[in-house]
Amino acid sequence: MTGALFAGLGIGLVGALLLAAGVDLQSRAVQAAHGRSRVWLHDRRWWGGAVLLATAVGTNLGALALAPVSAVQSVNIVALAASTLFAARSGQVVLTRRTLLAVAACIVGVVGFVAVLAAHPAEPSGHDLDPERTAVLTILAGLVLVAVVVTLAGRRTPRVGATGALLGLGTAAMTFASITTVVKAHVDLVLDEGLPTVLADPATLLAVGLLMLAGTLASVLLQRAHRDLAPPTVVAGTTLTDTVTAAMIGILVLEESAPTLLAAMLLLACAVLAVIGVQGLRRALPAAGSDPTRHPPGGTVPQPAPIGRHRSGEGPGGVQDAALVDLRSGAS
């Protein structure tokens, strides 16, 4: 059991690094296109990021067969550190003490969250997998409805600001987490009943359709987040919300953990710390597409030097300088 857990976490770690690289590439493409899908869909960087993200999903499937969903999703916190380094290397963000403290808060919060879960495993017993699948499908259907509402609201207001972008990002992350739990439920069914039996079940076809719809909506919201937020903020918000959502479903539905009252309070404290870290990243990092060196956090905007004024005929070029002043003042 321990060997399988470590193997699952190792595979999940590879997926986390692929996730960070994929998000970084897609973020650059979307920002360069100013959020216009007709432009970034023709950008090789966006498609390269899509390939990396698809590979990350594939590694997650392997990890889910070996480890609990809450443990696998938690490893994605490594993507936050990797994404921050990628963004700093490409010049998208400037690493400051405030930024590093925010990243540390996210990592400590999520790692603490997972450590508490790992310390309170559920009693190993036979679970009825069909009711669990029904429950996770119901949760996913509810999140799909929420994602539809948020997506339509975003179409009416193209520029929703940082708060609206975080709302869309949170909805996308919860949807992705729910997708993961549905996949986990079906992986368990395949391991228990065999692939032919699961494929012959009509509920599997319903699950596939729901997964495709949910994945499409979540991807749309994620691309909008790339447009309005810096890459580390996108990864931090996705990792935090994804991990907490997957953990809650794992505890309440899949019965992967059985925390005590004290453990539940510690889980809440860790989640709050991680949320504070995400908010700190949003405030410390520039908005997507802005120049991090032009408007440093807490700094002042440099003013342009005044243009010298000369009277007409005062030295060489005096007439031209006067004309320049007239043009700046709006004279014809």
207 lies in a domain? yes
Across residues 66-78, what is the average pLDDT?
Answer: 74
Instruction: State the residue for tokens 């540390």.
Output: 104
Residues of the chain with pLDDT > 70, as a percent, come to 79
Q: Which domain holds residue 242?
A: 2-284
The pTM is what? Answer: 0.70
**pLDDT tier, 277 (very low <50, low <70, confident <90, very high otherwise):** confident
260-290 as b/e, with b when 16 or more CB fall inside 10 Å?
Answer: eeeeeebbeebbebbbebbbbbbebbbbbbe
Query: Residue 294 CB: number of other CB atoms within 10 A?
Result: 10
pLDDT at position 161: 66
pLDDT higher at 137 or 1: 137
What is the 3 state secondary structure string of 186-215?
HHHHHHHHCHHHHHCCHHHHHHHHHHHHHH
What does residue 274 show for φ and ψ, rounded to 5 degrees? -65, -40
pLDDT tens, 129-179? 788 889 999 999 999 999 999 988 877 665 656 677 888 899 999 998 899
Please give the tally of structural domains in the chain. 1
Mean of the per-residue pLDDT values of the chain: 76
pLDDT exceeds 50 at position 306: no
Confidence of residue 33 (pLDDT cuts 50, 70, 90): confident
Of the candidates 177, 180, 280, the residue with the CA atom closest to the CA atom of residue 233 = 280
In a domain, 194, yes or no: yes
pLDDT for residue 208 is more than 90: yes
> Phi/psi class of residue 274: alpha, beta or left (left: φ > 0; alpha: ψ in -120 to 50)?
alpha
- In the prediction, which pLDDT does 143 show? 95
Tell me whether residue 317 is in a domain: no
- Residue 41 lies inside a defined structural domain of this protein: yes
Instruction: Give a yes or no: residue 69 inside a domain.
Output: yes
Does 107 map to a domain?
yes
Please check whether residue 148 lies inside any domain of the structure.
yes
Evaluate whether residue 77 is within a structural domain: yes
Most confident segment among 102-106, 122-126, 182-186: 182-186
Of residues 45 and 34, more confidently modeled = 45
pLDDT at 158: 58
